[in-house]
A = this chain, B = another copy of it.
Amino acid sequence: MTGSTSASGADTGVRETDAAAGDAGVREAAVATIQRELTAFARRARAAAARMHPELSLVSFTLLAHLEDSGGCRATDLATYYLLDKSTVSRQVAALERAGHVERRSDPADHRIQLLHLTAQGEQVLAQAADRRSQAFHARLSDWDPAELSRFAAYLTRYNDEAADPA
């Protein structure tokens, strides 16, 4: 609904004639749409996750997923990556440990550091939630063709990487 106005302006077939005049407007409209749609997605993500996998909140899921992706990292890394305060991460990690999903390993070279790892149980719970998420995403994207999916994926990756860099 909300998106239709700007979306039509952000159509794939961009008028290439007199590009100089149109570019600024096209850019403006497209950025506005990107902003609006990304924000709407973000706003829904928490609730959507709660419905998809009630046993693992969006927060817990992302932290566990990051641990799996990274093959173990420190609490500080999580805080940096997700723009969270370290106290928040500390509590989240404590809860995940209490639940038996993660394990701490001390670094003998630096006693301040605790490397966080998934436990077998954590891996299993994560896999289950990831599966539900994956199904939901595949369902939503079922009528996209592979080339579109690849481009969309590349755009998102590029966007996030650029957001991480200059901040």
* Contact flag A160-B30 (CB < 8 Å), given A137-B35, A153-B7: no
CB distance from A80 to the nearest CB of B (A): 11
A18 within 8 A of B: no
| B137 adjacent to A34 (CB under 8 Å) | yes
| A83 adjacent to B162 (CB under 8 Å) | no
Binding site of A, secondary structure by majority: helix, strand, loop or mixed? helix
Give the docked Cα–Cα distance between A66 and B1 (Å).
11
Oligomer: number of copies: 2
A6 within 8 A of B: yes
Question: What are the residues of chain B within 8 A of A23 when measuring CB–CB?
Answer: 146
Question: What are the residues of chain B within 8 A of A2 when measuring CB–CB?
Answer: 66, 69-70, 81
A149 within 8 A of B: yes
Question: What are the residues of chain B within 8 A of A109 when measuring CB–CB?
Answer: none
A99 within 8 A of B: no
In the complex, identify which listed stretch (A38-46, A100-108, A113-121) lies at the interface while the others stay far away. Answer: A38-46
Binding site for B on A (CB under 8 A): 1-3, 6-7, 10-12, 14, 19, 22-23, 26-27, 29-48, 51, 58-59, 61-62, 65-66, 69-70, 81-84, 133-134, 137-141, 143-144, 146-163, 166
